[in-house]
Structure 1
């Protein structure tokens, strides 16, 4: 499947480019940028291949001549016009009618798992640590992309998260620029310290959030608190429409990774999120040679290995993140999978790392 970008974000950036020129007293240049726009009618459906999108981005950069174009354009994008933003709003709308604070982990996972609906030019990676959560931005087409595309994705994710959970960003790290002037410019945009690093990231502070389950700052107090107020159907509807080629196993994995640790990852909840019956879900998975339980276990095993590589997460933290009711349940499952305890596995990783450093 070729990487692609949704037409809505292209239209939003075009609108932002016109507004940018007005703000710069360069309205006379609007016809110039209009000339470089692709004819979206040439592409069926809602998406355009990233390789084609990059041609328009590079042409736009040539006309506008702004070293920080990705930052400045995406600051002007009307995010409320994006179907992705509207879908997240629909997902979390029930929280606006309660006294419960919107869990940050919920919003961050929605953005993480479904950001590819906006564009597949960038992959988001979510790293969960004690008291911190970090979005890493990874280019999927480094040979044709430049720093402006990474900048643009950063601003877009920042603005979407900020709209639902404001004032949680702690700092940013930047790989594509490292001069003092450049870092100061980032700081002026995001309002937090900007540091040079080997990864470009948004780093969020989860400390002192009283609606989370434990000291990690990662989990809500209880699934009852979240209850049935959380559903991802609007985003999943977009996925099903735009990516009909996804297998049911892939769809299950996306839903499970989004809800796990917040509501029980049962076949009932997953089927409801996919807008199908449990029997239909089971039949589709059976046709693909798997079962819901196999997909759930495979997902938990993969996430368990990932979480245990994080030095700041305890095995108890990992147990809750994987949706287990207790540490002992996770202990038994992990030992069945790998033949050792989670703590032994984690200690072995630390020992190997120390040996590699010596």
Structure 2
């Protein structure tokens, strides 16, 4: 099971950011099987795990821990694909943000969750989902997404001072001084979410690229693409997608999963039965697949993995893992550490 996948447009983005830092990224990209042909392939994607390792390797090569912020500042609408063009032709900033988040799955899918936009009394909140626990492999992902969203908002409106503040889950990193330049507003670390807090009046600013006819046409194309994507997903897979981000530190039950899907418990059970599975089987298989992926492809500790999978304690995780694989998690992790390779790439990637 992959943690998710991401468009090669984001690899192109990290390549461009490296060039601006006078660093040649191709030796690292070649090492991870990303060729110029891969970057030019329509709809090509790579696993999120591979993307994180590429990012960490290039941070080391460039000796620039703030690489994610530089990536975000280099983001152009073309890196966003169809959702970017839907956003830029929108009538105003609020519509643009709503669309690039709504169509997020057209360019990336993460089992950990999905981004969202919502209004409060005084602001608009663009929130990137949690990918905790945080370490040197994933700081740059949050940096890139939030600074990229900020850059897009400025580009679409042609205006500055759109943000009230930025909130980030992890504590201030050693390169914290770079955030002020990237966002030009207060940045608060150690918060409960990763989010851009937009001034409410900024949301009404018009897009300088607004075009009603083109906007309508591109939104129609995006909707068709999204319908195709969702229609190709089985209910069992959709349940796995719902379960995964809810697992952190707690059990997940049938009732809340059915609610997330807009189904009654009875209907969910009946439709899963038609696919030959029961809810508890899907939950158990989801945990098993994610545990295997985390142990093979990340440096998360066993305790962190137990938390992310919703186990009450590491001991409970050890018992489940032994039942799944016949061994304890530590020797399993050690066995795969030395020759660790990434998850399989998504369909369309040339490797």
Q: TM-score normalised to the size of structure 2?
A: 0.52
Structure 2 Cα separation of the partners of residues 81 and 229 of structure 1: 16
Aligned pairs (5 A) from 1:1-358? 2=2, 3-20=4-21, 22=22, 29-30=24-25, 32-39=27-34, 46-77=44-75, 79-84=76-81, 87-90=83-86, 93=89, 102-121=91-110, 123-140=114-131, 142=133, 145-165=137-157, 166-167=159-160, 168-178=162-172, 183-196=176-189, 197-207=191-201, 231=216, 232-239=219-226, 245-246=232-233, 298=262
Q: CA deviation at 1:87?
A: 4.2
Q: Is the 8 A contact 2:6 2:108 kept in 1?
A: yes
Counterpart Cα distance in 1 of 2:150 and 2:126: 10
Compare 32-41 and 133-142 and name the one that shifted more. 32-41
- Please give the alpha-carbon distance, in whole angstroms, between the structure 2 residues aligned to 1:171 and 1:45: 34
Partner Cα separation in structure 2 for residue 155 and residue 6 of structure 1:
18
Output the aligned Cα RMSD: 4.1
SS at structure 2 position matched to 1:135: strand
Whole-Å separation in 2 of the counterparts to 1:87 and 1:18: 25
Structure number with greater CO (CA < 8 Å, separation at least 6) is 2
Q: 1:242 to 1:12 in 2, by over 3 A?
A: farther
State the structure with more CA Rg: 1
In the other structure, the counterpart of 2:324 is none
Cα distance in 2 for residues equivalent to 1:162 and 1:204: 11
Residue aligned with 2:188, SS: strand
- Which 5+ residue runs of structure 2 have no aligned equivalent? 239-260, 264-351
Q: Which moved more, 1:145-154 or 1:191-200?
A: 191-200
Q: Give the number of aligned pairs.
A: 225
Deviation at 1:207, TM superposition (A): 3.6
Per the alignment, residue 313 of structure 1 pairs with none
Structure 1 unaligned segments of length 5 or more: list them: 96-101, 213-225, 252-296, 300-358
Determine the C-alpha separation between the residues in 2 that align with 1:186 and 1:83: 22
Change in Cα spacing, 1:238 to 1:16, as seen in structure 2 (3 Å) is farther
Paired with 1:88 and 1:173, the residues of 2 have a C-alpha distance of 24
Cα deviation, 1:94-140, whole Å, max 9, x if unaligned, reads x6xxxxxx333211210221123333347313231012111222245
- Determine the C-alpha separation between the residues in 1 that align with 2:33 and 2:230: 22
Task: Tell me the SS of whatever aligns to 2:129.
Answer: strand
Displacement after TM superposition at 1:147 (Å):
0.9
Change in Cα spacing, 1:242 to 1:160, as seen in structure 2 (3 Å) is farther
